[in-house]
């Protein structure tokens, strides 16, 4: 059964390109598109999709407000944010509004089908550029608090966050474009540096230090 989605973006060429790309995917069905937040709300009410792919910077009702209203009115819907930029403020506002995914438009061609499938299965999906922004923000917070996360390199922090979210080594490897064996090396190094002994302890550590809410 296909994953029913709608698209929302105020740029007609982007909408057309996204629709054309997704229509090639046998397990994804685009059931409508909208050019602004108000039209998106009407479209969702009419078509009842599983997922809405929402541009953050739409005129009038922007993607953040549209996401808040969508989820308030239809809690089961899942939102994937699209933006031209990986600005931390927009990322955090969309995630706080309830979005389950965030992609920059430059990576949508490769990442969007993957994100749709992941979010449909209840996972959170961030493209590597956005994940790096959040990791840097979390790392900065940790350094201000002078905690042991400052011992980790950037890639180790990325792996730590994804492990704490319950991702497998193979999923992390695909997300970060590295080999699964490299993920395992990072995992061992993280455990050694933080004096932790299993993934459950890593997860508790990441939550306690504000690196993830998983």
The rounded distance, in Å, linking the Cα atoms of 155 and 172 is 11
The pTM (predicted TM-score) of the whole model is 0.66
Q: What is the mean pLDDT of residues 134-143?
A: 61
pLDDT (0 to 100) of residue 137: 67
Q: Per residue in 74-104, pLDDT tens?
A: 989 999 999 987 777 788 889 888 999 999 9
> Residues 12, 1: contact at Cβ < 8 Å?
no
Q: What is the mean pLDDT of residues 21-29?
A: 95
The rounded distance, in Å, linking the Cα atoms of 184 and 159 is 9
The rounded distance, in Å, linking the Cα atoms of 207 and 214 is 7
Average pLDDT, the chain: 86
Q: What is the mean pLDDT of residues 126-142?
A: 73
Q: Per residue in 51-64, pLDDT tens?
A: 999 999 888 889 99
Q: Which domains does the chain have, with CATH numbers?
A: 3-126 (3.40.50.2300), 130-208 (3.40.50.2300)
Does the pLDDT value for residue 135 go beyond 80? no
């Amino acid at each position: 059964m296909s994953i029913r989605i709608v698209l929302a973006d105020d740029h007609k060429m982007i909408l057309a390109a996204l629709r054309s790309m997704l229509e090639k995917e046998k397990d994804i069905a685009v059931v409508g598109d909208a050019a602004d937040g108000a039209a998106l709300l009407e479209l969702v009410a009419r078509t009842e999709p599983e997922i809405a792919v929402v541009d953050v910077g739409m005129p009038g009702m922007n993607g953040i407000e549209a996401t808040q209203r969508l989820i308030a009115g239809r809690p089961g819907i899942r939102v994937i944010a699209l933006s031209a930029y990986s600005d931390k403020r927009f990322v955090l506002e969309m995630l706080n509004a309830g979005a389950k995914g965030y992609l920059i438009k430059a990576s949508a061609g490769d990442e969007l089908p993957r994100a749709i499938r992941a979010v449909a299965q209840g996972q959170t999906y961030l493209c590597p550029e956005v994940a790096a922004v959040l990791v840097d923000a979390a790392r900065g917070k940790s350094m201000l608090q002078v905690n042991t996360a400052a011992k980790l390199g950037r890639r180790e922090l990325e792996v730590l966050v994804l492990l704490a979210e319950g991702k497998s080594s193979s999923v992390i490897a695909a997300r970060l474009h590295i080999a699964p064996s490299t993920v395992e090396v990072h995992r061992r190094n993280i455990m050694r540096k933080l004096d932790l002994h299993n993934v459950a302890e890593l997860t508790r550590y990441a939550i306690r230090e504000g690196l993830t809410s998983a």
